[in-house]
Structure 1
Amino acid sequence: MTNRMQLTGWILAACLASPALAEDADPAAGEKVFSKCKACHQVGPDARNRVGPELNGIIGRPIAALPDFKYSEAFQEKAAEGMVWSEENLTIYLQKPKDFIPGNKMTFPGLRKEEDITNVLAYLATFP
C-alpha cells in the first residue's frame, strides 16, 4: 500500500469515527488528557517550546510552522507537501503518531479512546 493510500485510509477512518470537535466534546476533560502531553508540550499565554513545540493555535496551523522550533525531517517533508494540522489530521495523528507520520521524533504512543482525542482537541481549541 502506498503512503498516499494509507493516508487516505487513515483520514477516512477518522472522519467516519467521529467529528474531532463534536458538540459533546469536553474541554475540561481534555485538559486532564493533555496532562499526558505536558512533559513535552505547553499551551497558554506563557507557552514555550520544550522537547515538542508549543501548541497554541495548532488547529488549522501548517505543520512545522513555528520558526523557533527544530522539527524532524519527517515533519519538514510534510510541511513541504503543504500539510495542515486540521482536526482530522490531528485526530489521526493522536491515535498513532508514528504510523501517521513515520520517522517523526514523538515518542508518545497515542491515545486509544476516541473520546480522549475529541476532548483534547476541544481543549487545544481554547488556545487560538
Structure 2
Amino acid sequence: MKFKLKAFLLTGLIFGIAFSAVPAFANTTLKGFTKDLPIMQNWKKLQSDTNIDSSCAITTINDVSGDYKVNVDIWNSSKQLSVQTTLGDGSYYVFPISGKHANETFDLRGWTANFSVATPTVKGAFAADSSISYP
C-alpha cells in the first residue's frame, strides 16, 4: 500500500513539474503544417502567416520522424528576421520580432539539423502574430 501511494505521489509530482513550464499561447491562432523536409539540408517553407502588430512569432514542433531534429528560422520576403534554432519532438520556440514589421507576411523555413539523404516529416504549427503568456 505504501509503495502504491509513493508511486502515485511521485507520478503526480512529475506531471506537475512537467506541465507547469508550458506557456499559454493566449489570443494566438497557430497554423498547422505537415511537411516532408528536403534532402541534403535544403530548406523548405513550412508555413506562412501575417504579423499584425505583435513583437513575437512562435512555432511548435509536435513530431519529427525518426531521430531527426529540424532547424527553423523566419523570413520576410528575402530577408532573414530571426536566428536559426534547432527543435525536436514536443518543443517550441518564441522568435522576437521588431515592431517595424507590422502587417507583413512571415515564412517559417525548416531543414534537417543533420545532413541526410532521407526526407523526414515534420509536424507542427506557426503563428507570426502571437500574444504569449507564461504561467
Structure richer in strand, relative to its length = 2
- TM-score of the superposition, structure 2-length normalised? 0.28
Structure richer in helix, relative to its length = 1
Bigger RCO of structures 1 and 2 (CA < 8 A, at least 6 apart): 2
- Structure 1 or 2, whichever has the larger Rg, is 2
